[in-house]
């Protein structure tokens, strides 16, 4: 007897993106020990796949597992009762029964493979969840970027894998299982999965990093992604590169090439970790993950790191998995110059955050008018992007100038155009720089500039 068993495969959701093939949300049929040179006969006649649009005389149908089924027991306990209604799409992540069934009008008893009668065996299809699948639609580019052989030189906005020209791939990293013709290998760059009752598992991952010595404080920032290689032309099947390659990731908002980063990988956290196939809780899996710090380099295009080929001890379903990029945000000092008033403590503010408006200072004989940055009253809702000095502005009680603490003194600038265009007087605080850009007109005359005296001997040049 020839045992006809589907390969146990792993794929990602959103396999039904825009593609020439019909019913392409499931992988092209693959069977153990059944290759291109395998002789298949139906009722004694050789089955010509080319004459049947590349199809076998049998197909793979997928069925839900029994509720609360323990995969460690598979396929024990699976009976014909479980093959009533096959699934029609890949919308639900999980593990499914893969069952060989004859095509319409064909009986399995009439099929022979390499001269032997055929018996079938059950297998599994694992569909891994994609967090942002609803945003994909027919555009797989929103989910995964095409691999390239050329390293980027301009700043990137999404992760990209750079492969050697002679790179080879294996489906699910199964030895001898190459890709189908005309593959579309892409780098999946998805968000971390949501966990029921939790926003994400980010907090648990951060706690796991803390055990590895990553200190936590108010300046620590994270960008977490889930990365993997898929064949978008074969239902988003998990694929594995067989030699070293590079991945570039974009700089997070508020960072650049000068920022110091650290990149961590959580070994063992593949997309099955939320299915709880074996009753394991996601947080237990995170706790048991192996954390590795990757060597990285900042480039003008983004942050680059190397991915090694899978070790011999990790064959099937080898994945890249969950990654955490971390850095410390810059901090700036906001200095308060009370200009003769009571002292106000300086503040240390994380980049992009806002300074807290302090209690008003006091000064004998003066009223506080606010904090100013240069000539403008400061808006405490503005994010801080550099170290700044804010100066208190005062007005002397009872009016008048002099002795008002410098910045509180006001001056009136009068324009005497000597018969030309008339301008209103302007009032400025002391030390304000005024641009004299007004050019009056007077019939029969040419304007030669502004002077500080009526005799026109003291020309104002700046």
Please state, in angstroms and rounded to a whole number, the distance separating the CA atoms of residues 453 and 378.
36
Taking the alpha carbons of 312, 313, 317, 319 in that order, is the dihedral positive or negative? negative
Greater pLDDT, 271 or 317: 271
User: Tokens for 342?
Assistant: 């009571």
Three-state DSSP state, 142: helix
Q: How far apart are CA 258 and CA 121, in angstroms?
A: 57
Whole-number pLDDT of residue 250: 96
What is the pLDDT, as a whole number, of residue 316? 61
Closest listed residue to residue 66, CA positions, set 48, 45, 46, 84? 84
Structure tokens at 140: 């797989």
400/404 Cα distance (integer angstroms):
9
Peptide bond into 75 cis (omega under 30): yes
CB-CB contact of 257 with 299 (8 Å): yes
Tokens of 300: 């003008």
In the predicted structure, residue 314 carries a pLDDT above the cut 80: no
Q: Binning pLDDT at 50, 70 and 90, where does residue 402 land?
A: very low
Judge whether residue 323 has pLDDT over 60: yes
What would the mean pLDDT of 95-110 be, rounded to a whole number? 96
* pLDDT tens profile 194-250: 665 555 678 889 999 999 999 988 889 999 999 999 999 999 999 999 999 999 999
Instruction: Give pLDDT tens digits for 115-162.
Output: 999 999 999 999 988 887 776 656 777 789 999 999 999 999 999 999
pLDDT at 400 over 80: no
Sign (positive or negative) of CA dihedral 366, 368, 369, 375: positive
| 91 pLDDT higher than 90 | no
Q: Match 């065996």 to its residue by tokens.
A: 121
273 confidence band (pLDDT: 50, 70, 90) = low
Task: Read off the pLDDT of residues 326-339 as tens digits, 9 standing for 90 and up.
Answer: 999 888 999 999 99
* CA triple 363-368-374, angle to 5 deg: 110
DSSP code of residue 146 = E
Do residues 188 and 292 lie in contact, with contact meaning Cβ atoms separated by under 8 Å?
Answer: no
Answer whether residue 410 shows pLDDT above 80.
no
Distance of CA 208 to the CA centre of its chain: 20
| CATH class, 331-401 region | mainly beta
| Secondary structure percentages of the chain, helix, strand, coil, to 5 | 10, 35, 60
Q: Is 56 exposed, middle or buried (0-12, 13-18, 19+ CB in 10 A)?
A: buried
The per-residue pLDDT of the chain, averaged, comes to 87
Using alpha carbons, list the distances in angstroms from residue 165 to 109, 301, 366. 46, 21, 75
pLDDT for residue 22: 44
Least confident of 20-29, 42-51, 168-177, 362-371: 20-29
Residue 132 near residue 190 (C-beta atoms within 8 A) = yes
Q: What are phi and psi of 81, to 5 degrees?
A: -65, -20
- Range of lowest pLDDT (48-57, 68-77, 121-130, 190-199): 190-199
Q: State both tokens at 184.
A: 């579309």
DSSP state string for 226-249:
EEEEEETTTTTEEEEESS-EEEEE
- Give 310 or 320, the one with higher predicted confidence: 320
Question: Residue ranges of the domains in the chain?
Answer: 2-128, 133-328, 331-401, 409-462
Segment 297-302 mean pLDDT: 98
Q: What confidence score (pLDDT) does residue 104 get? A: 94
The H or E element that residue 205 is part of is helix 202-211
User: Hey, what are 51's tokens?
Assistant: 């004459």
Helical spans, DSSP H, in 275-387 = 282-288
What's residue 194's pLDDT? 66
Q: What percent of the chain has pLDDT over 90?
A: 57
What b/e readout covers 220-242, taking b as 16+ CB neighbours within 10 angstroms?
A: ebebbbbbbbbbbbbbbbbbbbe
Write down the pLDDT at residue 198: 57
Burial bucket for residue 248 (CB in 10 Å: 0-12, 13-18, 19+)? buried
Q: Tell how far CA 296 is from the center of its chain.
A: 17
pTM above 0.85, yes or no: no
């Amino acid at each position: 007897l020839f045992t006809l068993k589907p390969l146990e495969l792993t794929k990602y959701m959103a396999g039904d993106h825009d593609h020439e093939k019909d019913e392409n949300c499931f992988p092209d049929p693959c069977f153990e020990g059944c290759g291109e040179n395998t002789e298949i006969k139906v009722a004694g006649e050789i089955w010509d796949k080319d004459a049947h649009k590349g199809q076998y005389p049998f197909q793979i149908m997928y069925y839900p597992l029994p509720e609360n089924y323990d995969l460690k027991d598979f396929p024990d306990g699976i009976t014909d009762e479980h093959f009533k209604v096959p699934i029609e799409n890949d919308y639900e992540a999980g593990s499914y029964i893969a069952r060989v069934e004859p095509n319409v009008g064909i009986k399995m008893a009439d099929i022979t493979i390499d001269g032997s009668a055929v018996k079938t065996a059950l297998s599994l299809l694992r569909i891994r969840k994609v967090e942002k699948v609803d945003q994909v639609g027919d555009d797989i580019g929103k989910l995964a970027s095409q691999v390239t052989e050329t390293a980027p030189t301009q700043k990137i906005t999404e992760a990209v894998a750079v492969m050697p020209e002679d790179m080879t791939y294996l489906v699910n990293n199964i030895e001898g299982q190459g890709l189908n013709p005309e593959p579309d290998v892409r780098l999946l760059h998805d968000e971390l999965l949501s966990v029921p009752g939790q926003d994400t598992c980010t907090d648990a991952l951060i706690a796991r990093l803390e055990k590895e010595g990553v200190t936590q404080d108010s300046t620590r920032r994270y960008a977490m992604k889930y990365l993997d290689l898929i064949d978008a032309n074969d239902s988003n099947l998990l694929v594995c590169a067989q030699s070293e390659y590079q991945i570039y990731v974009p700089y997070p908002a508020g960072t650049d090439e000068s920022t110091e980063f650290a990149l961590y990988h959580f070994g063992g956290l593949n997309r099955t970790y939320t299915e709880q196939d074996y009753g394991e809780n996601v947080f237990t899996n995170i706790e048991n993950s192996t954390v590795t710090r990757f060597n990285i380099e900042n480039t003008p295009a983004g942050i680059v790191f190397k991915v090694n080929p899978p070790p011999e001890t990790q064959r099937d379903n080898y994945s890249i998995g969950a990654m955490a990029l971390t850095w410390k945000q810059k901090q700036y000092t906001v200095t308060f110059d009370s200009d003769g008033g009571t002292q106000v403590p300086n503040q240390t503010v994380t980049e992009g955050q806002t300074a807290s408006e302090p209690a008003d200072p006091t000064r004998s004989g003066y009223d506080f008018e606010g904090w100013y940055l240069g000539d403008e009253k400061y808006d405490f809702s503005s994010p801080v992007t550099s170290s700044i000095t804010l100066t208190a502005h005062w007005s002397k009680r009872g009016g008048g100038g002099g002795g008002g603490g410098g910045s509180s003194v006001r001056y009136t600038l009068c324009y005497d155009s000597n018969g030309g265009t008339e301008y209103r007087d302007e009032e400025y605080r002391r030390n304000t720089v005024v641009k004299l850009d007004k050019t009056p007109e007077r019939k029969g005359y040419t304007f030669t500039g502004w002077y500080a005296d009526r005799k026109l001997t003291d020309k104002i040049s700046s």
